Amino acid sequence: MAANIVVFFDIGNTLAVADFTSQGKLAGFRTFPFVIEILQLLRHADRRLGIISNTGKETSESVKKLLKQAGLLEHFEPALLLFSSTEGIDKTKPEFFALAAKRAGVPPTRCIYVGEDDKERQTARAASFKVAFHALHVFDVIEQMPNSI
């Protein structure tokens, strides 16, 4: 059953390049050319999509606004947008990934974390997530997952 797999993405250097002001405030995202098509393919395959991201001191509203401007926000379930700045935990803790699985209502073994940072992927693995190092790699990871819980 496809819908019981939830794919969580990191933002920076996975979905997009983050741009910052000279004061260090998040100014926007430049979405990688292949990302929108991948997100559309995943959604058409009945995959649920979320974000797990370290967001510094940014508000949830500011991050969502910039995701919308980058053409990304519409692809993700609102309840599955987990930002460190609003959750009070970051991707150095397996509990952040466990919280994401809980919000999705699926076991962590039915979740995939897509991110470029190896330490973050190790933390996701420690929380029983499957991991992908690149957005394109997620299709291989899904293919290797059992079809049932």
pLDDT digits (tens, 9 = 90+) for 84-94: 999 999 999 99
Percent of the chain with pLDDT over 90: 93
SS3 70: coil
Question: What are the two backbone dihedrals, phi and then psi, of residue 14, each rounded to the nearest 5 degrees?
Answer: -115, -55
- Kindly report the backbone phi and psi dihedral angles of residue 36, in degrees, each rounded to the nearest multiple of 5, phi listed first: -60, -45
Q: What is the mean pLDDT of residues 29-46?
A: 96
pLDDT given at position 83: 98
Contact 10, 114 (CB under 8 A): yes
**Cα(104)–Cα(109) distance, integer angstroms:** 12
pLDDT at position 147 is: 73
Q: Which residue has 């059992």 as its token pair?
A: 146
Q: Give the phi and the psi of residue 89 in degrees, each rounded to 5.
A: -150, 155
Decide: helix, strand or coil at residue 146: coil
Report d(CA 25, CA 122) in Å as an integer: 28
- Would you state the pLDDT for residue 146? 82
Q: Which domains does the chain have, with CATH numbers?
A: 2-144 (3.40.50.1000)
Is the distance from CB of 58 to CB of 28 less than 8 angstroms? no
Looking at the DSSP bridge assignments, the partners of residue 18 are 29
d(CA 117, CA 133): 8
pTM of this prediction? 0.95
pLDDT recorded at residue 1:
40
The answer to whether 138 and 14 are in contact (CB under 8 A) is no
Between CA 70 and CA 95 the distance in angstroms is 29
